[in-house]
């Protein structure tokens, strides 16, 4: 099969968080399984050019219609650790991808609407005929919309779309001018509850909703989160849309790329180790302490947090965990970066306050190399998220023999099994600590159980860590699931059969003629 991934990130060249890991890791595994994969990405000024090999100009004059005029783009081509990537660089006064950041500009919806349009133009003008386009998050939600409403009549009639949602919190709400820019000129048609109208603001378009409505298949990144998104407030208003499209929605648990995340072959850690040579992990702990200036005389467990400093990640609990660990004979290492000014200021304040503490280091930055060393050196990795669609840090922790201590939400429930209480797993299959409530005592008790085991039963702690290493959370199984999804949609013909179960509900809810509403259903 010929698959094109279209996304705003691909690790390690463009990585703000887990999306980048997934786009790269899934693409690599699909290639290993014999498929042809290409990636289309924006050409940001701030991406890590040192991870691109053979970057060269592939198409000099890609014309992208925009606001009734045209923006010229250069498409560059290069290999990111073996993956063939096309980077789109627009030439216009807006400088969409020359902002020094990946996200966070006030015109983000416009930037990524442009990217989506340019990606489709690129496919069309270069006569590429992939079987499947795999789009990710709100940034590419307009691709299936434009494909169905526009580009299928201009040469892209055989392409089907799989759309993956990594975070329901960010949906790309925007206004009418996006439609005008991309050339979809019937606002009443798109500002409709069955199409792109935002569930909370009738005057806004919701790009993620467009992705759900118009894609042939929609996934989120773990089975438990798929359930949460449909049935709880975590769907952030899109639960009803998911319900209407339930026949084409499911959760596929993320993997991680063991080519990149493997303590045995990790080029960023000084002392490689494995399940059979677990003792060498301790040498990395010493190396980290030396690098960060932590005291090494008295051995204590290191508890680590690595992640975006964001409400999603339970920053109030992270903050509390620092002090709780220090008061309970543990060291704490944090590596994180915040986009929200208030959270950034709070953690800088803590960093300054704790600066002389020999048992604590807060690193407020994005540092891939340091992240690897921390996973290798720490004893426990803390993931106290408010919600977590999948979570990669606990999965990486498991591979590195670093025991996860997590809140039981989203994909954390699908990957971490409590050592003391998980009745569904045999003791030898348990791999971490899970707490469920979002209050302080719940987290404290889970940390206390981990620290207690580390001090009182070190052999048992090591056994738990090594049990975690035995789990296979590689991309092998998830990629196979995606291939099944791709196979299922690539043979869908147009127009698709409407889902019988949805007809009455749709008629009843919106009073739309079935033919009109259902034409979107099975795209």
Ligand X SMILES: Nc1ncnc2c1ncn2[C@@H]1O[C@H](COP(=O)(O)OP(=O)(O)O[C@H]2O[C@H](CO)[C@@H](O)[C@H](O)[C@H]2O)[C@@H](O)[C@H]1O
Residues that bind ligand X (CB under 6 A): 17-19, 21-22, 166-167, 221, 254, 306-308, 335-337, 366-368, 371, 388-393
Query: From the CB of 473, what's the least distance to ligand X, in Å?
Result: 11
Strands in 144-245 per DSSP E: 160-165, 173-174, 205-206, 217-220
Nearer to ligand X, 246 or 367 (CB): 367
CA geometry: angle 469, 473, 477, nearest 5 deg = 145
Query: From the CB of 115, what's the least distance to ligand X, in Å?
Result: 19
Strands in 7-125 per DSSP E: 36-42, 52-66, 69-80, 83-91
Nearer to ligand X, 11 or 123 (CB): 11
Nearer to ligand X, 195 or 308 (CB): 308
Nearer to ligand X, 244 or 333 (CB): 333
Q: How far apart are CA 3 and CA 159, in angstroms?
A: 10
Residue 313 labelled as part of a binding site = no
Query: From the CB of 308, what's the least distance to ligand X, in Å?
Result: 5
Nearer to ligand X, 21 or 194 (CB): 21
- Name the residue whose CB lies closest to ligand X: 17
Query: From the CB of 276, what's the least distance to ligand X, in Å?
Result: 25
Nearer to ligand X, 239 or 391 (CB): 391
Strand 173-174 and strand 205-206: the pairing is antiparallel
Query: From the CB of 389, what's the least distance to ligand X, in Å?
Result: 4
Provide the 8-state DSSP code for 234.
Answer: G
Query: From the CB of 272, what's the least distance to ligand X, in Å?
Result: 18
Query: From the CB of 191, what's the least distance to ligand X, in Å?
Result: 29
Q: How far apart are CA 493 and CA 479, in angstroms?
A: 24
Q: Contact at 8 Å (CB) between 343 and 310?
A: yes
Pull the structure tokens for residue 371.
């992240």
Nearer to ligand X, 229 or 451 (CB): 229
Pull the structure tokens for residue 333.
């290492």
Contacts of 105 (CB under 8 A, 6+ apart): 99, 111
Please name which of 117, 112, 142, 116 lies closest in space to residue 207, comparing C-alpha atoms.
Answer: 142
Q: How far apart are CA 369 and CA 376, in angstroms?
A: 11
Nearer to ligand X, 189 or 366 (CB): 366
Nearer to ligand X, 206 or 394 (CB): 394
Which sign, positive or negative, has the C-alpha torsion 438, 442, 447, 449? negative
DSSP letters, 429-453, are G--BEEE-SSSHHHHHHHHHHHHHH
Q: How far apart are CA 6 and CA 519, in angstroms?
A: 24
Query: From the CB of 23, what's the least distance to ligand X, in Å?
Result: 9
Contacts of 342 (CB under 8 A, 6+ apart): none
Nearer to ligand X, 254 or 414 (CB): 254
Q: How far apart are CA 244 and CA 498, in angstroms?
A: 12
Q: How far apart are CA 174 and CA 251, in angstroms?
A: 27
Tally of CB atoms within 10 A around 367: 14
Cα–Cα distances (Å) from 185 to 113, 123, 139, 193, 220, in that order, read: 15, 22, 20, 17, 30
Burial of 286 from C-beta contacts in 10 A (0-12 / 13-18 / 19+): middle
Query: From the CB of 41, what's the least distance to ligand X, in Å?
Result: 16
470-498 as b/e: b if 16+ CB within 10 A: eeebbbeebbeebbebbeebbeeeeebeb
Helices (H), 363-513: 368-377, 393-399, 410-415, 440-456, 458-469, 476-490, 502-510
Tally of CB atoms within 10 A around 119: 26
Query: From the CB of 390, what's the least distance to ligand X, in Å?
Result: 3
210: β partners = none
Farthest CA pair distance, the chain:
74
Query: From the CB of 51, what's the least distance to ligand X, in Å?
Result: 14
Nearer to ligand X, 75 or 409 (CB): 409
**Which residues are documented as binding site?**
15
**Which residues are documented as binding site for ADP-alpha-D-glucose?**
15
């Amino acid at each position: 099969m010929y698959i094109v991934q279209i996304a705003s990130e691909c690790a390690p060249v463009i990585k703000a968080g887990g999306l980048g890991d997934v786009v790269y890791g899934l693409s690599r595994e699909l290639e290993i399984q014999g498929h042809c994969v290409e990636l289309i990405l924006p050409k940001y000024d701030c991406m890590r050019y040192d991870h691109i090999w053979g970057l060269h100009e592939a198409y000099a004059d890609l014309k992208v219609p925009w606001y009734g005029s045209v923006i010229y783009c250069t498409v560059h081509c290069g290999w990111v650790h073996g993956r063939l990537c096309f980077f789109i660089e627009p030439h216009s006064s807006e400088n969409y991808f020359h902002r020094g950041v990946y996200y966070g500009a006030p015109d983000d919806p416009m930037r990524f609407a442009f990217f989506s349009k340019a990606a489709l133009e690129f496919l069309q003008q270069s006569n590429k005929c992939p079987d499947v386009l795999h789009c990710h998050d709100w940034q590419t939600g307009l691709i299936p919309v434009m494909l169905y409403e526009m580009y299928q009549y201009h040469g892209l009639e055989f392409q089907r779309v799989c759309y993956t949602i990594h975070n329901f919190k960010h949906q790309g709400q925007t206004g009418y001018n996006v439609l005008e820019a991309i050339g979809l000129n019937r606002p009443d048609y798109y500002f409709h509850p069955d199409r792109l109208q935002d569930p909370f603001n009738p005057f806004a378009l919701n790009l993620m909703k467009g992705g759900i409505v118009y894609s042939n298949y929609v996934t989120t990144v773990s089975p438990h989160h798929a359930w949460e998104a449909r049935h709880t407030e975590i769907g952030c208003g899109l639960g009803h849309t998911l319900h209407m499209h339930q026949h084409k929605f499911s959760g596929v648990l993320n993997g991680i790329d063991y080519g990149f995340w493997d303590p045995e072959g990790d080029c960023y850690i000084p002392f490689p180790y494995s399940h059979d040579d677990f003792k060498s992990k301790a040498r990395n702990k010493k190396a980290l302490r030396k690098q960060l200036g932590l005291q090494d005389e008295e051995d204590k467990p290191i508890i680590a947090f690595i992640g975006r400093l964001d409400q999603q990640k339970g920053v109030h609990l992270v903050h509390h965990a620092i002090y709780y660990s220090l008061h309970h004979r543990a060291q704490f290492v944090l590596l994180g970066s915040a986009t929200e000014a208030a959270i950034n200021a709070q953690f800088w304040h803590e960093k300054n306050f704790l600066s002389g503490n020999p048992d604590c280091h807060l690193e407020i930055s994005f540092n891939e190399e340091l992240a690897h060393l921390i996973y290798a050196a720490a004893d426990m990795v803390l993931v106290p998220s408010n919600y977590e669609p999948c979570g990669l840090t606990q999965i990486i922790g498991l591979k590195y023999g670093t025991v996860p201590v997590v809140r039981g939400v989203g994909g954390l429930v699908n990957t971490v099994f409590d050592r003391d209480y998980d009745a569904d797993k045999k003791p030898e299959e348990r791999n971490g600590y899970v707490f469920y409530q979002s209050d302080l005592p719940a987290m404290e008790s889970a940390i206390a159980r981990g620290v207690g085991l580390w001090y009182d039963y070190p052999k048992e702690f090591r056994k738990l860590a090594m049990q975690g290493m035995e789990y296979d959370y590689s991309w092998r199984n998830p990629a196979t699931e995606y291939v099944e999804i791709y196979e299922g949609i690539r043979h869908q013909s147009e127009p698709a059969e409407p889902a019988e179960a949805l007809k009455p509900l749709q008629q009843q809810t919106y009073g739309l003629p079935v033919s009109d509403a259902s034409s979107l259903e099975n795209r």
